[in-house]
Chain A
Amino acid sequence: MQITTQELHKLAKLAQIEISQQEEVQLLQHMHAMFAMVERLQEVDTTGVEPLTHLVEETQQRFRSDELQPTLTNQEVVEQAPISDGTFFQVPKVIRK
């Protein structure tokens, strides 16, 4: 299987990552090597095998009681943000007049 430059950029868009032109050639090479490696899996006969989705069966999962507990304050959360006004996160404008 091969991946085209166009497909690579589509993938990058889905992953919210930007690929510069100088990275493109090497990244394509690396992706091809990775694809070649994972492609080998097609050799395994998995007819009728149930996919293993979780190592812990859902019935074994233990949940804590659904009670309100104090967590972080607004200030503790917002002070982690690279840009905020002290109460809200700030982002580029999304609503235009």
Chain B
Amino acid sequence: MESFQSIAAYHQALAQGATTILQTTEAYLNRIQQYKAMNAYVEVFEQEALEQAIQQDQLIQSGTPLLPLQGVIVGIKDVLHYKGKAVTAASKMLAGYKATYHATAVERLLAAGAIIIGRQNCDEFAMGSSNEHSVYGPAQHPQYSDRVPGGSSGGSAAAVAANLCMVSLGSDTGGSVRQPADFCGIVGLKPSYGRVSRHGLIAYASSFDQIGIFSRTIEDAALLLQIIAGEDEWDSTVASWSVPNYVEELQQLKLDQKRKVAYIGSAVHHPSLDPAIKASFLKACSEFKALGHIVEEVHFPLLDYIVPTYYILTTAEASSNLSRYDGVRYGYRSQAPMPELSDLYVKSRSEGFGKEVQRRILLGTYVLSSGYYDAYFSKAQQVRRLLLNQVTDIFKNYDAIWMPTVPAPAWKMGEKSENPTDMYLADIFTVLANLTGLPAISLPLFKHGSGLPFGLQVMTNRGEELSLLSISSQLMAQMQR
């Protein structure tokens, strides 16, 4: 199959008549079929995709100028509402549920001409780092079928890496876009909290959740962000920041513009960090410095408290958000005999939620229960404030913070299923951005000795996606030299 370097290259091919949207859509549908064992997709929207492709081709033939995402093949994580289609958060609890409306991000993609080709596998309710906790079974790593693609948006990352779609949307509550992007060797962007509407995104932890983008290039991520970002009357937490024309701004970017970068010392010297990742990270730092940028190590004493803070707050929010699943109004309902109404709730929830989701609901219930609320929940909110203060201080002197994305490359399936906290601790470098609302991106810059890809994570201050994308472009250009 013909593979396009970028959306811009695809649009050029369309403009020149070298391909049609229908041909391209059919090729992707075939390829998805061919790579079915990867389990990246849980449903393919074949009929709608083909119908849209024919319509989009007719628009081109009638001489209508190309829409920004016309004919672009997009996959969506199974947590985003696409009207008329099932959306289940990879959970038995939502069996049979159909979206009655479009998520705002999905609606904006469709209005920009995108073709939504299917919904993609993930960890149940976006809780997990391996895509092994899915009612549809695990998704595979795109290159090594015995390894995990990361999670929770594992299917969406694997699909972009294996060219089963051009770009995809995932969601990132604690790294669920950046970590699988790191594992699969692609770009994974989590915008600032408040940059993209969460309307139509199934909630996990509402003060952390953000829709994110998987792509193979910075330019494609920038283009998608430009389309989905901005105010929405259905989500009052979306910031009123204007949305820059990221694509044009990046085209005008001067690659030699000097930057001030901080990297977190305690992260780079952390005992859990793989030595090869550490070496590559520090090499990238010194090469960037050699080009005249400032790259300095900064002190960040709270690093080891980030994961506990994150798990207290997100499980608390999850226990509240997931209390809506009752077996009455939609989704799964137990068939067990139930003399009382409360039996209906208990049986449906116990059979409908998987073990990882149940564990997190229980922990969240605990930290919110009277007697423990102040010791855990309020305490974690206080630490969240300290973390925000610390990153705010860093941004007084620096344009960006760099960290590795994940301490180790993609692990083998089943390797971290004995003790759930092993997997939680691997989130150490990604959860900071969610706790503090920062935009963050994982860039596919490195290859491990084992052949596995891994990334470097860049963060900028809240609302500064343009700076994030610009520094990312400079870094990618430097590494490709």
Contacts and interface: CB of A to CB of B under 8 A. Distances in A.
Interface string A70-97: 0010001100111100000101101000
A44 B367 CA distance: 17
B237 A56 contact: yes
Contacts, number: 161
A17 B233 contact: no
Nearest to B301: A44
B266 interface: no
Contacts of A77: 329
Greatest chain B CB density within 10 A among A14, A52, A76 is at: A52
A15 B421 contact: no
A62 B381 contact: no
B420 A17 contact: no
Given A16-B349, A94-B341, A49 B382 contact: yes
Interface in A22-62: 23, 27, 30-31, 33-34, 36-44, 46, 49-56, 60-62
Contacts of A89: 328-329
A43 B362 CA distance: 23
A50 B384 CA distance: 10
B98 A80 contact: yes
Nearest to A53: B381
Interface string B330-348: 1111000011111111110
Given A31-B363, A38-B367, A55-B194, A18 B237 contact: no
A80 B237 contact: no
A15 B348 CA distance: 12
Nearest to A48: B382
A84 B374 CA distance: 42
B96 A82 contact: yes
Nearest to B385: A52
Q: SS class of chain A's interface: helix, strand, loop or mixed?
A: loop
A92 B330 contact: no
A41 B380 contact: yes
Contact of A51 (B308, B342, B382): B382
Interface string B232-248: 01101111100000000
Contacts of B341: 91-92, 94
Nearest to A78: B329
Contacts of A55: 193-194, 207, 237, 436-437
Given A16-B345, A81-B329, A56 B382 contact: no
Given A31-B359, A72-B100, A41 B346 contact: no
Contacts of A40: 304-305, 308
B359 A62 contact: no
Contacts of B326: 16
Contacts of B382: 46, 49-52
Interface string B18-35: 000000000000000000
Contact of B240 (A37, A46, A60): A60
Given A38-B376, A61-B237, A80 B330 contact: yes
B342 A46 contact: no
B97 A33 contact: no
A82 B319 contact: no
Contacts of A30: 359, 419-421
B365 A15 contact: yes
Interface string B348-359: 011001010011
A27 B342 CA distance: 23
A46 B386 contact: yes
A16 B326 CA distance: 9
Contacts of A27: 359, 362
Contacts of A64: 233-234, 236
B273 interface: no
B388 interface: yes
A35 B292 CA distance: 46
The 8 closest A-B pairs by CB, nearest first: A51-B381, A82-B333, A46-B382, A64-B233, A80-B330, A52-B385, A49-B382, A18-B350
Interface of B: 96-98, 100, 193-194, 207, 231, 233-234, 236-240, 302, 304-305, 307-309, 311-312, 319, 323, 326-333, 338-347, 349-350, 353, 355, 358-359, 361-363, 365-367, 369, 375-376, 378-386, 388, 419-421, 424-425, 436-437
Given A39-B308, A61-B236, 19 more contacts: A11-B366, A14-B369, A15-B319, A15-B361, A17-B346, A17-B353, A30-B359, A31-B359, A38-B312, A40-B308, A42-B379, A46-B382, A46-B383, A53-B381, A62-B238, A72-B100, A92-B339, A92-B340, A92-B343
27 contacts: A3-B366, A8-B362, A11-B365, A12-B362, A15-B319, A19-B350, A34-B420, A37-B425, A39-B308, A41-B305, A41-B376, A44-B383, A46-B379, A46-B382, A50-B382, A51-B378, A52-B382, A52-B385, A55-B207, A56-B194, A64-B233, A77-B329, A80-B329, A81-B329, A82-B327, A82-B332, A92-B341
